[in-house]
Chain A
Amino acid sequence: MITKRLYWLVLSCLLLSACNQDESAQGFAGLGTQVDGFAQVSADTRLAFPEDFGKHPEYRIEWWYITANLTDSEGEVIGAQWTLFRQALAPGPEQPGWANQHLWLGHAGITRHNQHYSAETYARGGIGQAGVEMAPFKAWIDDWQLQSTTADLNQLSLSARGDSFSYSLTLSTEADPVLHGDKGFSLKSDTGQASHYFSQPFFTAEGQVQIDEQTYAVTGQAWMDREWSSQPLAADQQGWDWFSMHLDSGDKLMLFRLRHTDGAHYYSGTWISAAGVAQPLSPDQIQMTPGTSHAVAGRHLPIQWQLEIPHLGIEIETQAINPNAWMDTGIPYWEGPIRISGSHSGVGYLEMTGY
């Protein structure tokens, strides 16, 4: 989902206090800032595969994002997250070498019920430290990478490493990618901000996770999001709550809520049947109600949610596996695995920003 990992826009302000006042970033992480000279998303654009797994440097921002709901050999839940962001500081053709205007940011997280670790790393485009290539597909930053091991992107290897953890997973699927919104054109507000957005929610995952010198053999399901835009958020959108859910029925559900400063939030989502048929959900079809609040890193966040989509008969409750899944990165946020119960059961991932 769009929002998510965009944090890194804020990269510009990250290192420092004195982010220019005259260009003060709007929306969460500056994602609501309008910048001229970049390509703009359009409802007429038709996505193409596998090309659109690759990068879109004419747009200001994009990301490759994977969450995995895993269990170890003892049946204990482990969540893994891997994200690569790209942001252009200036429009125009890519400059060679260090003069390259694209910044790359990697985030990785690992969560057990009582443990959570995060890591991040930055790089500049143009020199080979980070990037995305096609044929074969490869997305990398430092020694973290997401790489296809077959020609058709049906099998990927994924790895990342932080100070206290590392993981290496193989992701496999036979399913086609799923388009969100209107054929991959995903609206983010009533005023027309949007992104191109598709997912591959049908990965099975297996591999190894190492946490604090302890190695776990894991299996489970994974979800990949691809999204790009030049201004994905409205100026008054200050954060979001975003869900990706693997239901036990084999169906998938994506839901998000963009929080407006005036309280009139923007809702959206996609119901994906086990057969891979996507049904976009309009704002008035979705009810998201935050429940119990939990204090983490000096903030209060809802770690329990009531989610309802009445016309589909969905009435579920989600519960964080680890309420302290705080990503202590340059732009901090909450992201962790959840358990689903109610009319449907399953597992998933929740991301909450701007709290």
Chain B
Amino acid sequence: MTVSRFAQGWVLHALLSHWRRHPLQLLMLACGLIAATALWSGVQALNDQARNSYDQAAERFNSLAQTQLISRAGGDFSEQHYIDLRRMGWKVTPLLEGRLELPDSQSLRIIGLDPLTLTLPGVQSSRSLPGNFDLSRFLTPPGQLLVSQSTADSLKHLWENTQVAQLFISAQTGRLPDLQVNPELTDEEVITDIHLAQQLLQQPGKVTRLLLTANPPGPLPEAQQALLRLITAEDEADLTRLTQSFHLNLTALSLLAFVVGLLIVYSCINLAFEQRRPLRRILHSCGVSQRQLLGWLLAELLLLGVLAALPGLITGYLIASLLLPDLAASLRGLYGAQVSGSLTLQPAWWLSGVAMAAGGVLLAAILPLIRLMKPATTQPEDKSKRFPYVCSWLTLTGALLWLIALLLMQAGESLASGFLLLTSLLFGAALLMPACLNGLLKLAERSSRGPVSQWLWADARLQLPGLSLALMALLLALSTSIGVGGMVEGFRKTFSGWLDQRLAAEIYLRADNPQQAEAIEHWLADRDDVEIVLPSRRTEISLQGWPVELRGFKPHATYSDHWPLLSSLPSPWEQVAEQPALLINEQLARNLNLSPGDSIQLPAAEGDKTFIIAAIYSDYGNPKGQLMLSIERMLLHWPDAVAGSYALRVQPRKVDALMQALIEHFSLDTSNLFDQQAVKGYSTQLFERTFAATHALNLFILGVAAIALFSSLLMLSAMRLSQLAPVWACGISRRSLMLYELVKLLTLAMLTALLAIPLGLLLNLCLVKIINVRAFGWELPLYHFPGQWLWLLSLALIAALLAALIPLLRLYFSSPSDLLRSFSHDN
């Protein structure tokens, strides 16, 4: 008989009835799926948002994909170069960019452009400018500001302050510019005509860069050659690489969360399918064929996956909106990349979330499905008998993964291979863990005396197969916490020490132009509250195609006493002061493979100059290479280097008065005058925000692992009765049984946590010595935080205790008749 002619809905109905009878199982399954989908899709939403923002910026102009001319000295340069180059047939278009600081620590990124030369049809398509563009209004005073809706709103609010409004009022018409809302712009970004940008940024006659809209007609003319540098798209590819590594980091963590969530799903489905063996037999005898059953089971799983996807995606959205402000701030601070602060989601995101949930559930169900569909053996398989066999496979795979990790450690160079190394290490360890625990328990069993304690350990081993998945999840979560937490804490410690050393001067200031710089120098020289003025100059050069910053400083104890050096020749500061020697940052040293004592050739005004590398210093957070040499030597070889940055040594109690005087005399503001505390505060805040997302994800993973443990125990507890009944029958009280159960579980959790510590340390080591170097170009010292381990250990025990609570209470309150019944069933 076949049921194919019947309405087959009843098969699904029968299958689903299982969940009605086991609501807790369903709840756990949903929890696992929702957690997995939420964490994965939340992080994907963040990444998509950031990538969209980069793409928009890159498409609109931008620095990333365009051959361009910038000042050799850094900073803005005269627009006369633009005119001169145009008159010589160079197809260039000017951009003036800068930050406009406004009250309430708000700021705007101003982009001034010339639409006439930017959008020549055929040379550059109109994608450069937003769709609803009106040239006449854009150019005619009072002009237009193209902004996002939220920037428009905040500008309207800011303009109520007449002082702020004054900045924007057109000199020609006395009116405020029109606000033109454009959804394609990121927050804080303002596109306007170059004439208004020059007014807003107070840079009359200046431009920041010239973009080439066609191939240059020849080599850069001499007059420009001296002042401008032609950079091609590849030079700026670094920023892309850095932001990519940031996102890869987040993606890796979210993938881990997804896997941990799936472990819960797996254990739920496994149990449910195990319990449905009888149902399968009944359905079979009702005429449901193997294939039909498989179809219905798949339909059921897909249904569950899709149903769980929606709450998962909503949770993911919430997680993303929670983390986005921090992420946007840290990407801006670290890389200067603009990310819009409001979340917009693409349809693709929703679809991929649903696909991940459905795909995840199917993936987790593969093994249970195969087991269920196998022709039933007459005797139900004993899990504990199968375990050694499964265990050896797990162990073998785990060992293989570790072998791969070992090879990657030796051979890999890329960031991707670094992540592969981490993955192999983590999952290899997870797979090795059951065998490890088994061994440890065996050891305990052998060394224990008396039947009860022997039973205790043997029984723990019996429980291991059912719990091993949950324990693997716990191991993954704990070791990730230890590894990532150790890295972050280590970084924090290194970073704050480094900041203290590096920011030794009390006040830092930057002059707007050479005239002001000169005036400030004179003014400072006459003041007796200033102990010493340390001027510095900067310029940009290209080393083996890598853009690097060259900084000239005045040798002084402020540097030699404090500046953090990683390695150096003897008395490096004296060498820099007296000889053609310089210091380089870690990023540059790693990139060009340089060590102290090596020599390096730099392109100077009068040809290449050779310098000895006296030392390498750490330079966290700087995406670029940097070199430092004495300011006298810099003036000798790079006479155009931009002056105007100063560090001032002042007695701490006189800092406020001096800053006030500087503000009054030179109308400096917070964008070019900082005290040490302000810089430290800003840097520390940036640091915290950078790792906020990492921290949060870490916590989420730990939470998911706790749920995994809880669900495993809950499901086991039902089966436990039959195993405990004989022991109870032997005269052990329920109370003692409960205690034994607790001890066993806590021991397993503890052993897992103890295994997690070395694994976490290994992870930490990989992060600071491999991933960080490949992603950011710097290495961190390895620190240990035993306090953190202890905290995580107790967290694991508390999670195990909480997870065990309901099953244990169930045991405690189970009546003797229950125990007897299960005893008889077992027989």
Which A residues fall within an 8 A CB radius of B? Answer: 11-20, 89-90, 95, 97-99, 101, 103, 120-124, 127-129, 140, 142-143, 161, 163, 328-330
Contact A19 B116 (CB under 8 A): no
| Contacting pair A142 B86 (CB below 8 A) | yes
Partner of B139, one of A89, A121, A142: A89
B253 → chain A closest CB, angstroms: 44
* Residue in chain B with minimal CB distance to A104: B116
With beta carbons under 8 angstroms apart, the residue of A17, A123, A161 that contacts B117 is: A123
B219 at the binding interface (Cβ < 8 Å): no
B140 at the interface (CB under 8 A from A): yes
- What 10 additional pairs, Cβ within 8 angstroms, besides A120-B121, A129-B87? A12-B134, A16-B134, A17-B131, A18-B131, A97-B198, A99-B141, A123-B116, A142-B87, A143-B89, A330-B121
User: What 3 pairs between A and B have smallest CB-CB spacing?
Assistant: A98-B195, A143-B89, A122-B116
> A120-B120, A121-B120, A123-B86 in contact; A16/B135 too (CB < 8 A)?
yes
B86 / chain A contacts, CB cutoff of 8 Å: 123, 129, 142-143
Q: In whole angstroms, how far apart are the Cα atoms of A329 and B120 in the complex?
A: 10
The answer to whether B134 and A99 touch across the interface, beta carbons within 8 angstroms, is: no
| Binary contact track B80-97/A, C-beta < 8 Å → 1, others 0 | 001100111100000000
The interface residues of chain B lying within 8 Å CB-to-CB of A161 are: 89
Contact A98/B129 with A12-B135, A122-B116, A123-B117 known, Cβ cut-off 8 Å = no
Whether A15 pairs with B140 at a CB distance below 8 angstroms is no
Residues in A with CB closer than 8 Å to B194 are: 98
**Beta-carbon contact of B140 and A89 below 8 Å:** yes
Q: Does B205 reach chain A (CB closer than 8 Å)?
A: yes
* A18, A20, A124: the one within 8 Å of B116 (CB): A124
Residues of chain B in range 45-98 having any CB-CB distance to chain A below 8 Å? 79, 82-83, 86-89
**Shortest beta-carbon distance, A339 to chain B, in Å?**
30
Total A-B residue contacts, Cβ distance less than 8 Å: 85
Contacts of B121 in A (CB 8 A): 14, 120, 329-330
Contact assessment for B195 and A97 in the assembled complex, using a CB-CB cutoff below 8 Å: yes
Selected contact of A16 from candidates B133, B140, B204, CB within 8 Å? B133
| A124 pairs with B89, CB closer than 8 A | no
**Would you list 7 pairs from A and B whose C-beta atoms are within 8 A, ordered by A residue?**
A12-B134, A16-B131, A16-B135, A97-B198, A124-B116, A140-B87, A328-B122
Q: Tell me if B83 and A128 are in contact (CB < 8 A).
A: yes
A163: nearest chain-B partner, CB-CB: B214
State whether A20 and B134 are in contact (beta carbons under 8 Å apart), knowing that A89-B139, A98-B198, A142-B87 are contacts in the complex.
Answer: yes
Interface string of B130-155 (1 = CB under 8 A from A): 01111111011100000000000000
Interface bits B99-140 vs A (CB < 8 Å: 1, else 0): 000000000000000111101111000100101111111011
Q: Chain B: which residue is nearest A16 at the CB level?
A: B133
CB distance from A105 to the nearest CB of B (A): 9
The answer to whether the Cβ of B193 comes within 8 Å of any Cβ in the partner chain is yes
Nearest-neighbour CB distance to chain A for B216, whole angstroms, equals 13
Q: Are A89 and B136 in contact (CB under 8 A)?
A: yes
* Contact-residue bracket for chain B: 35 or more
B667 at the interface (CB under 8 A from A): no
CB nearest to A14 among chain B residues: B135
B571 in the interface (beta carbon within 8 A): no
Residues of chain B whose beta carbon lies under 8 Å from any beta carbon of chain A: 79, 82-83, 86-89, 114-117, 119-122, 126, 129, 131-137, 139-141, 171-172, 193-195, 198, 204-205, 214
Cβ-defined contact, B87 with A127, below 8 A? no
Chain B residues with CB under 8 Å of A99's CB are: 141, 171-172, 195
Cα distance A124–B87 in the bound complex, in angstroms: 13
Closest partner residue, chain A, to B139 (CB atom): A89
Q: How many angstroms between the C-alpha atoms of A103 and B135 in the bound complex?
A: 11
CB distance from A263 to the nearest CB of B (A): 32
Residues of B within 8 A of A143 (CB): 86-89
User: In the docked arrangement, what's the CA distance between A142 and B114, Å?
Assistant: 15
Residue of A nearest to B89 (CB): A143
Q: How far is the CA of A316 from the CA of B131 in the complex (A)?
A: 48
Query: What's the minimum C-beta distance from B119 to chain A, rounded to whole angstroms?
Result: 5
Chain B contacts for A89, CB-based, 8 A: 136, 139-140
Cβ B204 vs Cβ A97 within 8 A: yes
Smallest beta-carbon distance A115→chain B, Å:
18
Q: Residues of B contacting A122 with CB < 8 Å?
A: 116-117, 120
Q: Roughly how many angstroms separate A89 CA and B115 CA in the complex, as a whole number?
A: 14
Residues of B within 8 Å of A140, CB to CB, are: 87
Contact between A98 and B141, CB atoms less than 8 A apart: no
Query: Within the assembled complex, what's the spacing in Å between the Cα atoms of A121 and B117?
Result: 8
Which residues from chain B contact A129 at a C-beta distance below 8 Å? 82-83, 86-87
Residues in chain A near residue B114, CB distance under 8 A: 98, 124
Chain B residues within 8 Å of A123, by CB? 86, 116-117
**Which residues in B have their C-beta under 8 angstroms from that of A90?**
140
Which residues of B are found within 8 Å of A16, using beta-carbon distances?
126, 129, 131-135
Residues of A within 8 A of B129 (CB): 15-16
Q: Which of B119, B121, B194 has most A Cβ within 10 Å?
A: B121
Assess A15 versus B126: contact at CB under 8 Å? Given A97-B205, A124-B116, A142-B89.
yes
Instruction: State which of A18, A98, A101 has its C-beta within 8 Å of the C-beta of B132.
Output: A18
A90 to B134, CA, bound (A): 15
- Which of the listed residues B114, B132, B139 has the most CB atoms from chain A within 10 Å of its own CB? B139
- CB of A88 to closest CB in B, whole Å: 10
Question: Is B79 in contact with A127, judged by CB distance below 8 angstroms?
Answer: yes
B134 touches A18 (CB 8 A): yes
B193 close to A98 (CB less than 8 A): yes
B83 touches which of A12, A17, A127 (Cβ 8 Å): A127
Query: In the complex, A124→B113 CA distance in Å?
Result: 12
Q: Which of A14, A101, A121, A129 lies at the interface centre, i.e. has the most chain B CB atoms within 10 A of its CB? A: A129
Chain A residues whose C-beta falls within 8 Å of the C-beta of B116 in the assembled complex? 103, 122-124
| Least CB distance, B84 to chain A, in whole angstroms | 9
Q: Which residues of B contact A19 (CB under 8 A)?
A: 134
The CA of A143 and the CA of B198, in the complex, are separated in Å by: 26
Q: Which residue of A lies closest to B133 (CB)?
A: A16
